């Protein structure tokens, strides 16, 4: 049974989500503010977190960043704010998805399913390739760790999924749409801009010169590819 932590100060919305998700077979814990949310995060160790942007004691964007600094569990932000800048800010601090209010419970459940599916995937082929050395960049699929020249690099859930996909297929060019479908699922609405944000953040973390990337290259008009050492 997957565990969900809901951090939402609107009691009616929190209750509606709780009732629906429990009927869908989830175990649900709820918090009405950021302080309680951080406490329950440690106490319940949820598999996925639903986090409201507007909270009484803090804003959800700040709390998202604080959670991401200690946990790689997928985070779904929910908010009445619909501007692109709001969604981008959430992604920049580590959110894995963003759902605008009002939303249907079916869509909420579909997004959670997509996030949980990708966070739990560990195919035998990937496990066998765990921490396989591809020169400077290494990806440990079992421990979900990224290394650059043996230095551990912290990533968000989506950043890791993008890097893993590119790393497993060196030289193959993936379009933004393909990356979206791979890391988010066909049932989750996101924009191609989300991929660009994740790529930018990855480059800042793994490239010595993010403006002239060595590993994660742009193929103009097509998408992105991973280039191992010694290849052009």
Residues 72/144, Cβ–Cβ less than 8 Å: yes
Give per-residue pLDDT as tens, 99-132: 999 999 999 999 999 898 877 654 444 444 444 4
Among 70, 86, 120, where does a domain finish?
120
Q: Which residue has the tokens 């501007």?
A: 83
- Total number of domains in the chain: 2
Could you list the pLDDT tens digit for every one of the 232 residues in the chain? 899 999 999 999 999 999 999 999 999 999 999 999 999 999 999 999 999 999 999 999 999 988 987 888 899 999 998 888 888 888 888 898 999 999 999 999 999 998 988 776 544 444 444 444 447 888 887 677 899 988 899 988 888 889 988 998 899 999 988 888 777 654 455 667 888 999 999 999 999 999 999 999 999 989 999 998 757 6
**Given this model, what pLDDT does residue 185 score?**
54
Extract the tokens encoding 70.
């200690």
Residue 185 to residue 25: CA distance in whole angstroms: 21
pTM over 0.85: no
Contact residues for 169 (Cβ-Cβ < 8 A; gap 6+):
226
**Given this model, what pLDDT does residue 142 score?**
63
Torsion of CA 213, 86, 109, 146, to 10 degrees: 20
Q: Please report, for residues 8, 76, 94, 148, the alpha-carbon distance to residue 182 in angstroms, rounded to integers and kept in the order given.
A: 29, 17, 18, 23
**Given this model, what pLDDT does residue 174 score?**
93
| Sheet with strand 151-153: strands edge to edge | 132-134, 137-140, 145-148, 151-153
**Given this model, what pLDDT does residue 132 score?**
46
Enclosing domain of residue 221: 124-226
Contact residues for 155 (Cβ-Cβ < 8 A; gap 6+):
72, 146, 163, 202, 205
Residue 59 per-residue DSSP state: B
The answer on 114 and 12 residing in a single domain is: yes
Residues 180/195, Cβ–Cβ less than 8 Å: yes
**Given this model, what pLDDT does residue 48 score?**
96
The answer on 133 and 94 residing in a single domain is: no
Closest to 4 measured CA to CA, from 103, 119, 164, 142: 119
Q: For residue 75, what are the β-bridge partners?
A: 49
The answer on 107 and 161 residing in a single domain is: no
The answer on 96 and 19 residing in a single domain is: yes
Domain contains 232: no
**Given this model, what pLDDT does residue 131 score?**
45
Residues 64/90, Cβ–Cβ less than 8 Å: yes
């Amino acid at each position: 049974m997957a565990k969900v932590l809901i951090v939402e100060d609107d009691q009616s919305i929190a209750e509606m989500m709780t009732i629906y998700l429990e009927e869908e077979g989830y175990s649900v814990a709820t918090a009405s503010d950021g302080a309680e949310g951080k406490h329950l995060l440690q106490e319940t160790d949820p598999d996925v977190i639903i986090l409201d942007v507007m909270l009484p004691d803090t804003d959800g964007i700040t709390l998202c960043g604080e959670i991401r600094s200690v946990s790689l569990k997928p985070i779904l932000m929910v908010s009445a704010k619909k501007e692109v800048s709001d969604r981008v800010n959430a992604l920049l601090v580590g959110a894995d998805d963003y759902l605008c209010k009002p939303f249907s419970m079916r869509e909420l459940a579909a997004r959670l399913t997509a996030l949980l599916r990708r966070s739990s995937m560990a195919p035998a082929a990937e496990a066998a390739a765990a921490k396989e050395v591809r020169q400077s960049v290494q990806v440990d699929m079992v421990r979900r760790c990224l290394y650059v020249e043996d230095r551990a690099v912290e990533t968000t859930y989506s950043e890791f999924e993008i890097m893993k996909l590119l790393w497993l297929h060196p030289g193959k060019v993936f379009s933004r749409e393909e990356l979206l479908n791979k890391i988010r699922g066909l049932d989750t609405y996101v924009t191609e801009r989300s991929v660009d944000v994740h790529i930018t953040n990855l480059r800042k973390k793994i490239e010595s010169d993010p403006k002239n990337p060595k590993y994660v290259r742009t193929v103009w008009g097509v998408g992105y590819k991973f280039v191992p050492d010694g290849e052009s």
